[in-house]
Each structure stands twice: as structure tokens, then as C-alpha cells.
Structure 1
Amino acid sequence: MGIPANRLRQRARGRGAGRRARRRLPGRSRGGRDAPRPEPGRAHRLRPRGRARGAAALLDLPDPPDAVLCANDVMAIGALDTARARGLRVPQDLAVMGFDDIEAAAMVVPGLTTMANPAREIGRACARRLLDRLSGGAGPSAEVVIPARLVRRGSA
């Protein structure tokens, strides 16, 4: 679901909330309770403390990794912070890599090795496909491959 339960509650109770929104709330809350929870140490929120918890959990393992590939650059910067706090040298003791190539990736020390997310190209390809489909010219679904670009910096 796109809206967390607490936000849905705020909307349902807020000014101008309709009956339909209030009726959806109990079902969304029940669904949230029954939904599977991520395994501890596997998924962490992108908050200043949370972004480093995943790396800390991995480094606390009996056989810790010598490389970490993070889902995004914010998490990878948290991994760099965790490594630094534990006295690990990056990339000698722990290689760290992110995904997105946000501006901060070039500003941290060492610079974060990352995959540049070709968001503009992905958007263009989606728009072309949608316009083709709307005009009736699109055939069956097809796989479109848009390569990401490796940005080599000092962390891996």
C-alpha cells in the first residue's frame, strides 16, 4: 500500500475526510497487522540512525562481510559511517557500494562507488511506451533494457 497506516488514520480523521476514507481505515489496519514483517537486520528505514543499522547488523555477524552493496546511496553513506566508527578502513577492510549517484556520493570521504540511476532515460522509455500504447501502435509487452553506469570512486 502506498500510504502508511498512521497517515491514513490522519487523513480519515482530518478535515474534509469522507465516509469512504473512514470505512477503509479498519481494513487497512487489519491488513497491516497480518502483513509479514521483514527479518530483523535485513530492512531498515532511511533515517540518520536507521541507514547505518543494516551495516551494523552485518558487521556484527560471526563472519562479517568484506563488501556491502547497498540498495541506495543514503544507506551506503550510513555503512561508511558505521565502518569509520568501528575503525575499519574503506575499501581495505570493507568495500562499500551504493546505487543512485546522489550528489552526496561524491562529497563523502572516501568517495562512494555507486551505480548511476538513469532515471531520465527510464522516464523517456516509459513515456514512449505509453504513448505508443495509447495510439494503438504498441504490440505485446516487451523488455526494455536501460543500462546503469558504474561510477568508480574510492569506497570499492
Structure 2
Amino acid sequence: MEYMTTASTGGPRWLTDEEQRVWRAYLHATTLLEDHLDRQLQRDAGMPHIYYGLLVQLAQAPRRQLRMTELARNAKITRSRLSHAVARLEKSGWVRREDCPSDKRGQNAVLTQEGYEMLRRSAPGHVSAVRQAMFDRLTPEQVRTLGEIMQVMAAGLQPEGTDADLPWLR
């Protein structure tokens, strides 16, 4: 494929060979990392990585509870996907829903003691998997640089305002 530049044609600004190499490496590594963490949590805790993340958010929240809309926003998933995930977590006895006292239409997800204990038991294996897959492979300088890069990317991708068309706002 012949690449054209925006300056000369007004068309897309194609990735350079180096940018293409980095982009593909990023996609490959993040896919492998997510799969690695999913498999570890399925094996050790019987849950996917996304469910573990929901339990962590609830464990860190005041009174171990969050409004469902806030939990969806924090997890960057749609409310319907969150509802399905919470239903599965409820079935396991790790989360329960309660009506929101300040808004009768809203609901809170609450981490149960059983859910907290599951999280406490599965955390050591999970942190070991994260450390082995990521941090043990990087130098301290690479860790700092990666953190800075991810912060820049997140800041540029986090839209401002409540009218943004984001899945977790739907």
C-alpha cells in the first residue's frame, strides 16, 4: 500500500513504519496481558479480570458500595454489561444490590463480606501475575516512562463534559 501524507493530499496521515511497529506491539502486548490476567483469575478465583476489577473498586469505596452508574463509569463499561456482571457476582454471593437512599431510581452495588474474603484470597495470586507479566520485565526507568506515557494517553482520551458519547454513560 502506498502511503500519502495529509500535507500533500489532504488525506489521512498514515502511520510511519516505526509508529506502525509500536502500535502493533502495543496491541499484541495488551491483548496477551489481558488474556494472561483473565486466565489466572479464572483458574484461581473463578472470575474474569473485569469482575475482579469491580470487586476491587467496591472494596476501596466508602462502606464498600458504589452507585451502579459510578461503578460503570469507573470500569468503563456499559450499564447493561455492568448489570450482567453484578448479577453474576450476586449469584456467587460476592455483591448485593441495594436501592439508593438519595435517588429511588438508582441502585448501589455493595461488596458482601463473602466477596471481600474472595478478593482477599485472590489478591496475592493476581498481584503475582501482574508483577510477573509486567513489572518484573521492566527496569525502574521503563516503569516510570510507561506510567508517564499512559497518563498522557488517558488525559488525551478522557472527554470532558456530560454530553460525551461514552459507553458507560449509556
TM-score (norm 1): 0.30
If asked which structure has higher relative contact order (CA below 8 Å, sep 6+), I would say 2
Whichever of the two has the greater Rg, that structure is 1
Please state which structure has a larger fraction of its residues in helix.
2
